[in-house]
Amino acid sequence: MVCLVAYDIENNRIRSKLARYLEGKGVRIQKSVFVVEIERHSIKRFMNKLLTFSEGNGKESKSDKAGKGGKIAVFRLCTGCQKNAVQIADQEKEFYIF
């Protein structure tokens, strides 16, 4: 299953950890937007992991996570949406069709 993941996280440490996690799972298409492909049987685990970042419950100290979680949105793309989705960019060398 292909998902589009977008986030708005204030805390630099949590945001950096989330970005590294998502880079390992998919492709960055904007500064805070990723396309990831997740197996159906592991979507619950993936969502729970994202929830820990959103709540600021990563391995941060108490001062780092005090109200510093953020918003994460996950959009599941159906097969039809995947076929119609394109990225158009003048400066990018890579062109993604997912």
Q: What is the DSSP letter of 56?
A: T
Which amino acid, residue 95?
F
Torsion sign (Cα): 75, 80, 82, 88: negative
pLDDT digits (tens, 9 = 90+) for 41-75: 999 999 999 999 888 765 544 444 444 568 999 99
17-39 as b/e: b if 16+ CB within 10 A:
bbbebbeeebeebeebebbbebe
pLDDT tops 70 at residue 78 = yes
Q: State residue 39 phi and psi, 5-degree precision.
A: -65, 145
Q: What pTM does this model have?
A: 0.75
Widest distance between CA atoms in the chain: 44
Q: How far apart are CA 78 and CA 80, in angstroms?
A: 5
| Residue bearing the bigger pLDDT, 67 or 8 | 8
Give all domains of the chain, ordered by start, each with its CATH number.
Answer: 2-84 (3.30.70.240)
